[in-house]
Amino acid sequence: MQSAVLPDGRQIYCVNAYEVEFGIHEIFSDDLTARGLRLPANGTYLDVGANIGLFSLYLRDRCPQARIIGFEPMPAVFAPLAANLAALTPPGEAVELALGDRPGWAEFDYFPGIAALSTQNRAVGQTMAAGLRALLGGHQAGSEVQHIVERTGAAEAVADDGFLDALLRPERVRAQVDTLSAQIAALGVEAVDLLKIDTEGSEREVLAGLAEADWPKIRQLLVEVHLGPEVTETMAADLRGRGFSTTIGAHPLSQGGAAVFHIYAARP
């Protein structure tokens, strides 16, 4: 593991320190309450595809007595996640699993150089890698993202032959999968105040693993969709059909050409 320092001086564990500032920009700059979501201080939050736990830290800062459970299947990423959640007060819970439409095992593309890109959906991983390549190369990036690239020193590094090829080269990793409903039961969760899903292309499979009897337990969702605008709208429409109000926002990587969106969904 490596370590990194957040803007407020806190130290966290990570896979690659240079990834952390991008994650902070994506997560901490998003005001969920302005998107219509409520963050009860003592709620229950499921962070599916938690990576190193930056979203869980975001929640702890705003929800001091919340129960926070993070799911992450990649072993190299789970180690810093577990350490970061253990350091919270009160501690969060880390579960080394992917969530999908059925229990079992699955093959993932794990990106050691950019761990946040790791995915079970190879096509999505390639699209995200291409989008990140464009951003790191300074193409199509907005001013805020470009400033981050410059601060991390990536602008100079990408000039080296083969740097991005090495950075964005995946490895195959096998990981265990369970369903969301099975984990809700195993963890004794009676209600979910916010279900956050960021699984790099497997978001539909995660929701397919939620039994009909458990849907009423889900009060709000934040879903990062990596499958394009049509799938995003279809998923939002499905959520509206279940009684949620929805809004849609664009992910920072969309500046690099990756069609990534956020669905914010809440029950009235």
For residue range 55-83, what is the model confidence (pLDDT) as tens digits? 999 999 999 999 999 999 999 999 999 99
Q: Which domain holds residue 147?
A: 2-266
Tokens, residue 4: 């990194």
Distance CA 130, CA 150 (A): 19
What does residue 74 show for φ and ψ, rounded to 5 degrees? -80, 120
Q: What is the mean pLDDT of the chain?
A: 87
3-state class of 175 per DSSP? strand
- Contacting residues for 198 by C-beta, under 8 A, at least 6 apart: 48, 49, 51, 55, 224
- Residue 263 pLDDT greater than 90, yes or no: yes
Who has greater pLDDT, 24 or 206? 206
CA angle (130 as vertex; 155, 141 as ends), nearest 5: 50
- Residue 174 pLDDT greater than 90, yes or no: yes
Distance CA 84, CA 256 (A): 30
Tokens, residue 63: 């929800």
Q: What is the DSSP letter of 120?
A: S
The CATH number given to whatever domain includes residue 201 is: 3.40.50.150
pLDDT given at position 30: 85
- Residue 145 pLDDT greater than 50, yes or no: no
pLDDT range class, residue 122, cuts 50, 70, 90: confident
Tokens, residue 102: 């059925």
pLDDT given at position 114: 84
- Contacting residues for 222 by C-beta, under 8 A, at least 6 apart: 32, 37, 194, 195, 196, 197, 262, 263, 264, 265
End-to-end Cα spacing for the chain: 42
pLDDT given at position 138: 54
* Global confidence as pTM: 0.87
- Residue 172 pLDDT greater than 70, yes or no: yes
Who has greater pLDDT, 6 or 165? 6
Closest listed residue to residue 217, CA positions, set 185, 177, 263:
185
Number of domains in the chain: 1
229, 231, 234, 236 alpha-carbon torsion, rounded to 10°: -70
What does residue 227 show for φ and ψ, rounded to 5 degrees? -115, 20
- Contacting residues for 261 by C-beta, under 8 A, at least 6 apart: 224, 225, 229, 232, 248, 249, 250, 251, 254
pLDDT given at position 163: 66
- Contacting residues for 61 by C-beta, under 8 A, at least 6 apart: none
Q: Are 48 and 99 in contact (CB under 8 A)?
A: yes
- Residues 186-208 have pLDDT tens digits of 999 999 999 999 998 899 999 99
CB count in 10 Å sphere of residue 216: 11
